[in-house]
Structure 1
């Protein structure tokens, strides 16, 4: 195939909101719309290195696509991205999409074993990794037989190619792969009930549809906004907040490569006129408790959005009282790409997750597979156009999650008399900690590997802010060794085995755990203690 063969317009005419033309490439479409809209000189991203305009972003994207082609990476092959939030992230992601190559951005907080699995599962031909994350990949690169190219974003290439050098050495060819709206664009890995990551496969058209259905009409992102998302770009939530929605609207995004802390975000809010703020409930709670949090007069926030876990009413009210802005709590999943159920400013009902986003339909289903009457609890299922098409290489889980037009969320909800949905927790044993799924089985296995532990059960537990955190119930081989020192030792042991955010915040020693007649641990009985 020649370069001329790949020069295809991403779309012929501007489609209506909520529709996508058959021939469509999200990266090309969103960049060309901004250039045609006269925003070539407007900042698209601001990171620690300064501002990158829409014109510069388009050139960087074109150069990265050309660089991948020069390396021999072909359409529909995968590029694994383990990258911090700088302008290099959207450059690589959009560069892949524009070239028809599949981007696979992954969580930057995972372990070497997690990345080994993802490289093998995705069969990625190319790895793009931030220099700070390279140590987690150094040993496993040689173990990945499909991996042929490594690109390091930073100053030290560690013997491989530097990101800046690579894109600086090629021409910015305006080549767009002739993709359709239904072509695979990217994967997002999500954890399963066993802890094994699953690659949710998404298409080009879904990115536009999340902006058309939620980002523009519901979240309300406009060209004049300056956006910041505490949730990182590798999350489905952060991807919409920090790329899809603002680029669709022609807004400016402030990126933060560091781990988000109340002090760090407070500095960003004082330094930049951020008007749209996206975070998770745990962060809102920590920010409110910070002595360094800015006052209302120091910020310019006009809209706040929360997702990732249910937003406690106390946090929502305290935020509105301090900053005069409601937090719009919503629910989205990796499988549906972004928020499909939400509260809205002026129609917020505290303690609920709101109502369906127009374009999506919801139903609550009981154990018998039938819809439950209003007011009764059921599993939330959603029908909408942004659903992933499958989990990669996991037919069994794909069939049980993607049921025709309906997608199972795994969350339990009740619909109240006013039509608002109230979250009742997960339908399985998975927990969400700061918006990230945590498998209790992983934590239990890590605890059980400690020489003093006989068995363990991990469940979600409310902290003082009514946010869910992992709590472990541990049976020791020798009960008389139960001490505060051992609790600290067990917590540190888990941190060494797993990503640090998965460690149990509390450990309670028990003589025995509740079990069924067949010996299965009854976690629901332990969970019930924490919900009282």
Structure 2
């Protein structure tokens, strides 16, 4: 991909966060490849960690505009814009779309609270072909139930908190795996990570982190302690991972999304 950019000199680069992370795993990419034709980078497919955004910016001088759309909406409905970026967020709604964050009963949640993301716009599909039950669950009048969990900050930026089925109930409180992952990925030795729920000896669910290190990283007890200390400094007690397991790679779909269900099987 880097060779293609160098050869054909595109001005816009669009890919998924997994690809940005993979590129950053290489050393001295701006010295080995000419990327100066690029003026804009766009990310979609899954949430782009703020740590990846900042590393890319430092290395290339380019912003990444993180966005979200889906097959059912056909078009992007949330995006960061040039000059209006909040690293780690999905940005703000596009003109032509209405976006809501609601509770289980369909009522708007207070600013800052996590809820279900709902989208309305003229490009939204009407139903799934030959899937009546799934259609009734997803298409609710004019609104699309995306299955994503989000919250909105005081400036109107939307923040991904995970898929609805990825959320963890720890100590009676909802925990977003992405919040924990972002803390761990801030460590310079970490390439990427994924958090799931695992039952402890008392059969209670606690967060467990699977961590991939950058090239040359040492999977030592000292590093595990550093990561746990970082989580202790940044997260409430119930959000801190009880276990950290170092792995060579995370299981992914063909489009680069993490297959968390396979981590539960490991």
Q: How has the CA–CA distance of structure 1 residues 272 and 408 changed in structure 2, closer, same or farther, with 3 Å as cutoff?
A: same
2:107 corresponds in structure 1 to: 370
| Mapped partners of 2:264, 2:136: distance in 1 | 37
Matched, 1:288 2:11: no
Q: TM-score, normalised by structure 1?
A: 0.33
| Mapped partners of 1:465, 1:427: distance in 2 | 25
Q: How has the CA–CA distance of structure 1 residues 335 and 468 changed in structure 2, closer, same or farther, with 3 Å as cutoff?
A: farther
Q: Give the 5 Å matches for 1:369-518.
A: 369-429=106-166, 462=181, 464-468=190-194, 502=259
2:172 corresponds in structure 1 to: none
Q: How has the CA–CA distance of structure 1 residues 471 and 373 changed in structure 2, closer, same or farther, with 3 Å as cutoff?
A: closer
| Mapped partners of 1:275, 1:351: distance in 2 | 23
| Mapped partners of 1:356, 1:308: distance in 2 | 16
1:278 aligned counterpart, secondary structure: strand
| TM-aligned CA deviation for residue 337 of structure 1 | 1.4
| Mapped partners of 1:293, 1:505: distance in 2 | 32
Match of 2:74 among 337, 349, 357: 337
- Residues 281 and 467 of structure 1 are in contact (CA less than 8 Å); yes or no, is this contact kept in structure 2? no
| TM-aligned CA deviation for residue 349 of structure 1 | 0.8
Q: How has the CA–CA distance of structure 1 residues 372 and 499 changed in structure 2, closer, same or farther, with 3 Å as cutoff?
A: closer
CA deviations 1:129-148 (Å, max 9, x no partner) are xxxxxxxxxxxxxxxxxxxx
- Residues 101 and 117 of structure 2 are in contact (CA less than 8 Å); yes or no, is this contact kept in structure 1? yes
- Corresponding residue pairs, total: 196
2:60 corresponds in structure 1 to: 323
Instruction: Give unmatched runs, 5+ long, in structure 2.
Output: 168-176, 200-247
| Mapped partners of 2:17, 2:43: distance in 1 | 6
| TM-aligned CA deviation for residue 283 of structure 1 | 0.9
Q: How has the CA–CA distance of structure 1 residues 377 and 470 changed in structure 2, closer, same or farther, with 3 Å as cutoff?
A: closer
- Residues 472 and 506 of structure 1 are in contact (CA less than 8 Å); yes or no, is this contact kept in structure 2? no
| TM-aligned CA deviation for residue 414 of structure 1 | 0.8
2:13 corresponds in structure 1 to: 277
2:165 aligned counterpart, secondary structure: coil
CA deviations 1:206-231 (Å, max 9, x no partner) are xxxxxxxxxxxxxxxxxxxxxxxxxx
| TM-aligned CA deviation for residue 394 of structure 1 | 0.6
- Residues 335 and 388 of structure 1 are in contact (CA less than 8 Å); yes or no, is this contact kept in structure 2? yes
Q: Give the 5 Å matches for 1:197-276.
A: 265-276=1-12
Choose between structure 1 and 2: higher helix proportion.
1
Match of 1:354 among 68, 78, 91: 91
| Mapped partners of 1:471, 1:500: distance in 2 | 24
Instruction: Give unmatched runs, 5+ long, in structure 1.
Output: 1-264, 431-458, 474-490, 510-532
| TM-aligned CA deviation for residue 323 of structure 1 | 1.5
Q: How has the CA–CA distance of structure 1 residues 469 and 299 changed in structure 2, closer, same or farther, with 3 Å as cutoff?
A: farther
| TM-aligned CA deviation for residue 279 of structure 1 | 0.8
1:321 aligned counterpart, secondary structure: helix
Choose between structure 1 and 2: higher strand proportion.
2
Q: Indicate the RMSD between aligned Cα atoms, in angstroms.
A: 3.3
**Bigger Rg over Cα:** 1
Q: TM-score, normalised by structure 2?
A: 0.64
Match of 1:306 among 28, 31, 43: 43
| TM-aligned CA deviation for residue 328 of structure 1 | 0.3
Q: Looking at both structures, which has the greater relative contact order when contacts are Cα pairs under 8 Å and sequence separation is at least 6?
A: 2
CA deviations 1:97-139 (Å, max 9, x no partner) are xxxxxxxxxxxxxxxxxxxxxxxxxxxxxxxxxxxxxxxxxxx
| TM-aligned CA deviation for residue 351 of structure 1 | 2.1
